[in-house]
Amino acid sequence: EQKKQEEDAAASKKKEFRAMSIEELKKLLTKKGAEATGKKEDLVEAAFAISAREEAAAARKAKLKSMDTDKLKQRLASKGLPTGKKEAMIATWLAHEAKIKEAAQAWE
């Protein structure tokens, strides 16, 4: 059921992007710092990929916000990262995860 909802949401988002003009898609991609070249379907796919990444990041941030502050502190401390107020710890953890992802992609 969850997978069906996710597929429906993805199809709806792609439909939303397909309804946009090429100029609108180019503006959106440029605003997001992405390359805005290619055919319309390429632009739609690029916009969808960015949207999916942003939604995943928002979901990850929400999950961290719901985490107990002490548990979050322990997680950061175990990686030698600084602790502090919850928002700052969340930002630190997300930056740490991004750095790890970048390093992993560099090896590919």
Pair 43, 36: CB distance under 8 Å: yes
Q: Which residue has the higher pLDDT, 1 or 38?
A: 38
* Distance (Å) of CA 61 to CA 81, 88, 92, 93: 17, 12, 11, 9
Question: What pLDDT is stored for residue 14 in this prediction?
Answer: 94
Instruction: Find out whether 60 and 94 touch, Cβ atoms under 8 Å.
Output: yes
pLDDT at 108 over 80: no
Residue 3 pLDDT: 86
CA distance 93 to 2: 27
Q: How many CA atoms lie within 13 A of 63 on its CB side?
A: 8
The residue among 43, 11, 10, 15 whose CA lies nearest residue 29 is 43
pLDDT of residue 2: 83
